[in-house]
Structure 1
Amino acid sequence: MNSLFPFLALNKVALQLGPFSIHWYAIFIVTGAAIAVWMACKEAPSKKMTVDDIIDFVLIAFPLGIVGARAYYVIFQWSYYSQHPGQIIAMWDGGGAIYGSLIVGAIVLFVFSYYRMIHPLDLLDITVPGVALAQALGRWGNFVNQEAYGKIVDNLNYLPDFIKNQMFINGHYRTPTFLYESIGDFIGFLLMVIFRHRLKFIKRGEIFAFYLIWYGCVRFIVEGMRTDSLMLGPARVSQWLSAILIFVGIGLIIFRRYKKYE
C-alpha cells in the first residue's frame, strides 16, 4: 500500500483504546523480552536452574532495565530534558539506550545470583542469546519511531517500500542503521544458539563472552554510521562502551581457557 503513497510514514501508535495508546515501540520491546524469557526458561534445567529462578530474575531485571535505559539516555541528553522535565518519562516516543539497560541488568543479575546461589556465568550464558534476539526486535521499534538512523543517502532502492518510506525523514532518505544492527544482532543470536548446542568444548561463560565481542563489534560499526549518537565531548559514548565490551569478552575467554578449574 505504501508504494501507492510514497513517503507515507507508519503510525507510532499500534492501538488506541480511549485515552490509552499502545505504541509499536512497546510492542517490539515486550515481544522481544517475552521470547527471551521463554528461551531462558527452556534452557534453565541444563544449568540446574528452575523456571522460577528465571521468572523471578526477569520480574526484577526487566522493569529496572527499562528505567536504566531511559535514565542513561536522559543523562546524556540532559540539556534538553532539563528544559522539558515532563518528557523525561515519555519513553513511548522513543529515547532509550540499550547500554543503560545492560548495565542495570548486569548489576541485578550478579546480586540475584549471589542470593540464589547461582553461578552468574551460568545465568548469563542462558540469557544472552535471548537478549540478542530481543535487541534485534527492539530495533524495529526505533524504525517505527524514525530514530537511530544514519546520514542522508540518495536512495534506498535495495530495500522494500515500507522501509524506504519510513526512512524518508525531513525530506531525505536516511541510512537505515536500525536495520543493520537488527540483522547483526539476529546473526549473533543464531551463532550463540548453534555454539551452545553444537560445540562441546565451550566453557562456562564463553557464550556470554562471545555476546560481548559480537555485540560490541556490531554496535561499534553501526554507531559510527549514526547521526544521533549520545556524545561525551567529541566522543561517541556507545563506541567507547562497545570497545570495552570487546576487550572484556576477549579477556573472559582467555581467563576461562587458562583457568584449570570451574
Structure 2
Amino acid sequence: MDFVLGALNPIALKFGPFEIRWYGVIIACGVILAAALSVKEGQKRGLKDDYFYDFLLWALPFSLIGARLYYVIFEWPYYLANPSEIYRIWDGGIAIYGSLIAAVLVLLVYCRHQQISSWLFLDVIAPNVILAQGIGRWGNFMNQEAHGRATSLNFLQNLHLPHFIIDQMNINGIYYQPTFLYESVWDVLGFVILILLRRKNHLFKQGEVFFGYVIWYSFGRFFVEGMRTDSLMLGPLRVSQWLSLVLFIGSILWLLHRRYWQPYAPWYLDGQQSFAKQDQEK
C-alpha cells in the first residue's frame, strides 16, 4: 500500500493498481457536509431526515450521468468518432452544470412522489450545494485543472496567495490564473450570504432562496468561466457562459413573477407545515 499524503499530488492513496484521488475525496467531503447541513436545516422546516438521505441516493448517480452527458453533448463530434470513450469519466470531462440540472430533475420527481414542497426542499439544500461546489473546486486545484490563462509569478504574489497555491499554479514551468480559487471564494461567500438572509422573517418566499442561489452562482460563474482555457465553446462565448446568462435572467424574471403573481406563496420560515396546510385546503 502506497501512501501519498501531505503532498500536492492528485493521488491521495494507492493500493497496488487502485488509486484514490484527492479530487474524489474532496468532492465526497463537500457532499457529506452539504447533506449534514441540509438535514439540520430540514429539521427546523419540518422535513424528515430520511427525505435527504433517500434523495441523495437517487441524485448522486443521476448527477454523475448528467455531468458526463452535458460534456459529451457539447463535444459530440469527438465522441461520435470515439464512442468507446463516452463512459471513460476517469479521463476527465464532466460538467457541474450537467450535474446540477440532473439533480434538480430528480428532486422534482422525488418531492412529487413524497408529497413535499419542492420549493422548500430546494431552499433548504441550495446554500449547502453552493458550499459543496466551493469545496469541490479544490479538487480541480489538486488536479491542476480548471485554471485560467497564463500569468506571471509577480501577479500571483500580488494577490497575497499562500505559497502552496502559487506553486500548484506552476504547470510545466508556466504560471496560470487560479480560477478555481476565484469561484471557490465566490461560492463560499454566496453560502454565507444565503444562510444569513434566509433567517430573516418575511424576507424569502419558498423558492426564493433557491433563486438567490442560481442568481448568485450564475453571475459569478459567467465571469470566471470567461477566464478559463479548458471550457467548451459555443460561438463567441463558452457553453457555461451562455447557460449562466439564461439562468441569471430567467431566475430574476421567475422570482419577480412568483413574488407579484403569487403573493400568497408561503414564506420560507413557515416550512413544510404551510405546504401541508395548503394541501388540506385543496
Calculate the TM-score normalised by the size of structure 1: 0.91
Distance 1:161 1:141 in 2: 18
Could you tell me how far 1:215 is from its partner in structure 2?
0.2
- Match for 2:264: what amino acid? Y
Distance 2:10 2:88 in 1: 13
1:261 aligns to 2:264 (yes or no): yes
Could you tell me how far 1:202 is from its partner in structure 2?
1.6
CA distances 1:15-63 after superposition (whole Å, capped 9, x unpaired): 0122211101101111111111111111112332101111111100012
Which residue does 2:66 correspond to in 1?
68
Aligned match for 1:160, one of 162, 168, 192: 162
- Structure 1: segments with no counterpart, 5+ residues: 1-8
Moved more, 173-182 or 80-89: 80-89
Q: Computing the radius of gyration over CA atoms, which structure comes out larger, 1 or 2?
A: 2
1:235 aligns to 2:237 (yes or no): yes
CA distances 1:84-105 after superposition (whole Å, capped 9, x unpaired): 5554444345432100001101
SS at structure 1 position matched to 2:203: coil
Which residue does 1:91 correspond to in 2?
89
Aligned-residue CA RMSD (Å): 1.7
Aligned match for 2:14, one of 13, 16, 34: 16
Which residue does 2:222 correspond to in 1?
220
- Match for 1:151: what amino acid? R
Distance 1:49 1:133, change over 3 A: same
Which residue does 1:188 correspond to in 2?
190
Which residue does 1:177 correspond to in 2?
179
Name the count of aligned residue pairs. Answer: 254
Distance 2:173 2:86 in 1: 28
Moved more, 159-168 or 193-202: 193-202
- Match for 1:153: what amino acid? T
Which residue does 1:3 correspond to in 2?
none
Calculate the TM-score normalised by the size of structure 2: 0.85
Distance 2:44 2:64 in 1: 28
Could you tell me how far 1:260 is from its partner in structure 2?
2.2
Moved more, 91-100 or 207-216: 91-100
1:125 aligns to 2:123 (yes or no): yes
Aligned match for 2:29, one of 28, 31, 41: 31
SS at structure 2 position matched to 1:99: helix
Distance 1:166 1:86, change over 3 A: farther
- Match for 1:260: what amino acid? P
CA contact (8 A) 1:216 1:242 kept: yes
List structure 1 segments (4+ residues) > 6 angstroms apart after TM superposition: none
Distance 2:18 2:27 in 1: 18
Could you tell me how far 1:146 is from its partner in structure 2?
1.2
Which residue does 1:107 correspond to in 2?
105
CA contact (8 A) 1:209 1:248 kept: no
Distance 1:243 1:81 in 2: 27
Distance 2:236 2:203 in 1: 42
Aligned residues: percent identity? 50
Distance 1:162 1:88, change over 3 A: farther
CA contact (8 A) 1:136 1:186 kept: yes
Distance 1:34 1:110, change over 3 A: same
Distance 1:239 1:17 in 2: 40
Distance 1:18 1:211 in 2: 42
SS at structure 2 position matched to 1:10: coil
- Structure 2: segments with no counterpart, 5+ residues: 1-6, 266-282
